[in-house]
Each structure stands twice: as structure tokens, then as C-alpha cells.
């Protein structure tokens, strides 16, 4: 299982600007993309200061911490989620290194599919690693290329010839801010303007949070360089068949974000409308599981003309159970995360909408909770197809042996969950939810067909006890 993170960068034409606070505010808007750790790096005329730690944005960054970062003309921000074997303070980003041609900081969202081979090659050449993240592999390759190239952007371009997989990057050199997206465009990355300043972010909601204007999405394979001379674009690596992760629209992105020209909220409403057409059922109310099931429930209600009701109150002070690294933590989180509104459910035939079923344990508890509240019937509708394959590109979709749809039929899953009926959105219709999107999509977790060959996952021998 791999990372899902949020990145942010800002370049100001003015010196000694409070760019750290802008990064801090933007990270609040991206907090949903990662709740394990966060960090900010600031560049002040070539001198870089950074701070990162485990925890949420307001826990890691108090007023004093932001003041210590100081002012500058550039800043990077990062929020991180990590799988259980990489949950460590040392993996918090941005990563900052100092090499023979200067300092460099990097923030990364995604996952490198040839990471094992690249790490082993670098280790045989004498590279010493301090983290277990793919990001350190990227930064080491770029620094090696930088020695023999004229500019940092040339080094990045050369590095892209070796790195495979998903990587939306924001990189800071002493004088430049650089945004990079992998040639397939798996993960989102956009550009905006804040007065004369240039900003980059994983989602447009981060631009909105600081009052920046959306300019455009970074193209798959594009390298955008910002410095005192202006903005330059290198499209040498563009042109491959792209594959934006469709799960950004189903679950990961915030509803108020616009990705590749398509509104996330509208895509989820469309998913619910398609669900109503595919899996109609006679019922009294439609309700969504907060948060990413709410928009789809609205769409189902509109199409079916069955009243929409608020059925749950969510505890806003607990993170997503989907991205809790261990099952014990997920179980504990579900118990305190949701409470039902009895008047909306009691003696009702309920259509319950959620975005996905991964392992099935969380949904089983939610269905049980609805029944215990007094529902006469519970009809479960899922606004994505069944997960039957893992994701290698940055979405936390489990290995096949832990995916419930790989072990049971739809009827068996329905019985296991305790629902009266179960319906998934079809692959055919999930391809239609993002109207006007200016990209193609990856549906590999549903179909097994990936834009790139399925990687061979190998253990890093340096992260396991002898004999394992």
C-alpha cells in the first residue's frame, strides 16, 4: 500500500514575504489528503529552513514554529498519509537536501513503481538513505543528474527518464520553484496566481483557501519553472496516453475542487444518478455516509425522486477511517466517528450510499448501526465498481487477498454486510461521471488494466529483521 499526499508551493517576486503562513493555510485545505504528518520549507534568498513532524497541520505548526521558519520568497508545503510500514517522523516531507550545487527541497504525491530497482541501484553506487519513502529516491536521482547538467530543470528532465509511476512534485531550488507531473498524470496538480505570486497545489481548493486564482492544470509530463524571469514550461515528456486516477473524483479530492476541468461535487452527484438508474429500489429515504457518500446520495435522490435525508452526524475531530493504517485503529475510529439521527431512520426503508467497499469491516458496522437505529430495510448502493485489484500509484487500495470483492460474490458480500440488497456502480458508468474532464482515466483497481505494466513488488531487505 502506498502514499496519498497533498503538495503546495508558492513563489513570490518580493523578498521577505510571509510565504510560510500561505503554505500553512493551504495545507489546511489539503488536510484530507494526509493526516499522518505535515511540513513546510521556506527559502530566503537561497537559504532554506524547514519544519515537519507527525500530526495534523494545527498540531505541528503553532505561531512560534511559523515565526522560526521566517520570511522568504518561496515555500513548499506537504501533508502525508503513509502505509503502516512507513509511518515515521523521518518520512515527513518536504525533504530538504544540500548538495554540491546548492540546497533543494521536494514535496511528492504518488508512488514510484520501479522504486525497488532504483533504490538498489543507488545503494550499490554508495548512496545512503535516511528514509523509507519513494521521495528520497527521486531527490537522489535529481541531485546526481544535477552534477552533470546546466540547470535544475535539466536535471529533473533527465531524472524523468528513469523514474516510473505516479509523481506530482513541487521542487524548490535556491532560486526556482518547479512543478512536475508524471507523463501519465496519475495524480492532480494545478497552478494559480495570487497577485504577482505563482502557486501550485494538488487541488484547486487549496488555491481558493488563500484567495489565489486558478490558472490551469499542469499537463502530464510537464515541467513548469518559475523564477525572477517569469514562468517557463518544458513539455519534452508530454504526449503519452494519460491516466488520471478516477478515485480522485470518487473519494480523495474535496468536493469543491475542480480537477482537469471537471467539478468533483458534480462527478459524485452524477455517480449517484447513474446508481439510481442501474440499481433502483422501492424505499422511503436516501442517505449518504459522510463525507464522500453525501454528494452521490444527493444524485441518487434526484434521479429516483426518493427523499434525501441526513442520517448521520459525523465527529469532525477524527480522521478518515479509510486511511488509518491498522485494522485496530480503523475499528476504534468507526465507533466514535458516526452517530445516527433516529428520526430519519426509524421504521424507514433506507437506501444507504457510500463511495466504496474495501475490506468490508467498516461498512458492516455502519449497516449494523442503521439497523440498530430501527431501519426496516437497508439497501446499500456504492458509487464505484468493486475493488478487485490493488493500486500502485498512490491510492490506498489493499492487496487482493484483503479485498472483499476478490473473496465473495456481490450476493455474498451483501449477506456479510447485513444489507437487504447491494448494488455497485458499473465500470461503464464510472467512466462517465466526470463530465468535460480534459483527460483519460486509470480504472486499474476495478479492471486490472493499468496505463503502465503492473509492477513487481519486492521487499526492501534493509527494512526487515534478519531472517524475515
The domains of the chain, with CATH numbers, are 4-241 (3.60.20.10), 258-447 (3.40.50.2020)
> Could you give the 3-state DSSP secondary structure of residue 126?
coil
Contact assessment for residue 138 and residue 164, using Cβ atoms and an 8 Å cutoff: no
Question: What pLDDT digit, counting tens, does each position of 104-159 carry?
Answer: 999 999 999 999 999 999 999 999 999 999 999 999 999 999 999 999 999 999 99
How many helices, marked H, and strands, marked E, lie in the chain? 16, 23
337 confidence band (pLDDT: 50, 70, 90): confident
Contact status, residue 363 vs residue 408, Cβ threshold 8 Å: no
Q: Could you give the count of Cα atoms lying within 13 Å of 116 in the half-sphere of its Cβ?
A: 11
- Express each pLDDT in 340-380 by its tens digit: 999 999 999 999 999 999 999 889 999 999 999 999 999 99
3-class DSSP assignment, residue 234: strand
Catalytic residue annotation: 5
Q: β-pairing, 258-259 with 213-217?
A: unpaired
Q: What is the mean pLDDT of residues 275-301?
A: 97
Amino acid at each position: 500500500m502506498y502514499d496519498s499526499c497533498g503538495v503546495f508551493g508558492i513563489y513570490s517576486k518580493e523578498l521577505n514575504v510571509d510565504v510560510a503562513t500561505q503554505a500553512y493555510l493551504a495545507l489546511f485545505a489539503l488536510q484530507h489528503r494526509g493526516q499522518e504528518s505535515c511540513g513546510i520549507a521556506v527559502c530566503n534568498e537561497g537559504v532554506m529552513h524547514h519544519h515537519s513532524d507527525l500530526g495534523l497541520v494545527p498540531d505541528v505548526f503553532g505561531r512560534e514554529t511559523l515565526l522560526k521558519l521566517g520570511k522568504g520568497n518561496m515555500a513548499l508545503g506537504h501533508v502525508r498519509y503513509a502505509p503502516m510500514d512507513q509511518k515515521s517522523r523521518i518520512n515527513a516531507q518536504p525533504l530538504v537536501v544540500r548538495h554540491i550545487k546548492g540546497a533543494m527541497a521536494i514535496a511528492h504525491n504518488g508512488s514510484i513503481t520501479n522504486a525497488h530497482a532504483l533504490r538498489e541501484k543507488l545503494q550499490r553506487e554508495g548512496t545512503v538513505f535516511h528514509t523509507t519513502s519513494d521521495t528520497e529516491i527521486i531527490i537522489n536521482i535529481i541531485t546526481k543528474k544535477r552534477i552533470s547538467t546546466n540547470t535544475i530543470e535539466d536535471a529533473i528532465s533527465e531524472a524523468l527518464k528513469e523514474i516510473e509511476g505516479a509523481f506530482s512534485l513541487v521542487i524548490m531550488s535556491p532560486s526556482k520553484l518547479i512543478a512536475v507531473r508524471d507523463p501519465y498524470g496519475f495524480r492532480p496538480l494545478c497552478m494559480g496566481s495570487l497577485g504577482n505570486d505563482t502557486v501550485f497545489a494538488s487541488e484547486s481548493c487549496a488555491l481558493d483557501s488563500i484567495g489565489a486564482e486558478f490558472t490551469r492544470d499542469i499537463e502530464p509530463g510537464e515541467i513548469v519553472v518559475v523564477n525572477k524571469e517569469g514562468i517557463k514550461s518544458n513539455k519534452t515528456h508530454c504526449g503519452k496516453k494519460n491516466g488520471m486516477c478516477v478515485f480522485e473524483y470518487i473519494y480523495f479530492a474535496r468536493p469543491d475542487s475542480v480537477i482537469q476541468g471537471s467539478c468533483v461535487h458534480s462527478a459524485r452527484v452524477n455517480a449517484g444518478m447513474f446508481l439510481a438508474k442501474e440499481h433502483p429500489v422501492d424505499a422511503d429515504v436516501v442517505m449518504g455516509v459522510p463525507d464522500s457518500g453525501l454528494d452521490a446520495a444527493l444524485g441518487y435522490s434526484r434521479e429516483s425522486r426518493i427523499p434525501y435525508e441526513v442520517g448521520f452526524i459525523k465527529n469532525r475531530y477524527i480522521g478518515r477511517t479509510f486511511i488509518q493504517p491498522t485494522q485496530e485503529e480503523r475499528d476504534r475510529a468507526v465507533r466514535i466517528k458516526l452517530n445516527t439521527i433516529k428520526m430519519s431512520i426509524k421504521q424507514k426503508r433506507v437506501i444507504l450510499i457510500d463511495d466504496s467497499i474495501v475490506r468490508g469491516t467498516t461498512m458492516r458496522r455502519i449497516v449494523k448501526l442503521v439497523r440498530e437505529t430501527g431501519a426496516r430495510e437497508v439497501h446499500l448502493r456504492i458509487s464505484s465498481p468493486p475493488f478487485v485489484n490493488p493500486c500502485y500509484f498512490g491510492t490506498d487500495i489493499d492487496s487482493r487477498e484483503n479485498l472483499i470483492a476478490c473473496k465473495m460474490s456481490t450476493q455474498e458480500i451483501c449477506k456479510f454486510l447485513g444489507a437487504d440488497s447491494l448494488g455497485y456502480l458499473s465500470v461503464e458508468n464510472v467512466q462517465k461521471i466526470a463530465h468535460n474532464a480534459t483527460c483519460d482515466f486509470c480504472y486499474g483497481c476495478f479492471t486490472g488494466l493499468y496505463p503502465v505494466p503492473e509492477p513487481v513488488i519486492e521487499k526492501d531487505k534493509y527494512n526487515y529483521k534478519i531472517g524475515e
